[in-house]
Structure 1
Amino acid sequence: MQDIDFELDRDFVELNQLLKLVGLCDSGGAGKAIVASGAVAVDGVQELRKTCKIHAGQVVQIEDFTIYVNAPA
């Protein structure tokens, strides 16, 4: 497992954009395809909504990666 810390600089980020911003895909469109495939979980629950709003404090899992979404310091 690889942990990724992501500092959120706004109220929320859309799930497909988060995958792009942390470097797990090349574009928002590719992020949408990954989410649609059922490979992504948010807070331990499978998430199929491509533009699901991810807020600080949430944890996103995809394959061997865990993304911790943190509030700005």
Structure 2
Amino acid sequence: MSKYDTLWAYFRNKREPEIKLSFAKIKKIAGIELDHSFLSYKKELLTYGYTVSKISLKSQYVVFNRID
């Protein structure tokens, strides 16, 4: 079980080609703040059909793209 399972579940029924989430929205969905470990866990998202395409520390958002 991953600490980001709740966040990954958010993507389960999504079909949008791109989803941009702020760090605050991710915290609200996942119940935890993003930390450096996110870089290791992000590969788990492939199971749900998405990949992380951009992480902006300055603007505090993450862009997720659908895998076709």
TM-score by length of 2: 0.35
TM-score by length of 1: 0.34
User: Which structure is higher in strand share?
Assistant: 1
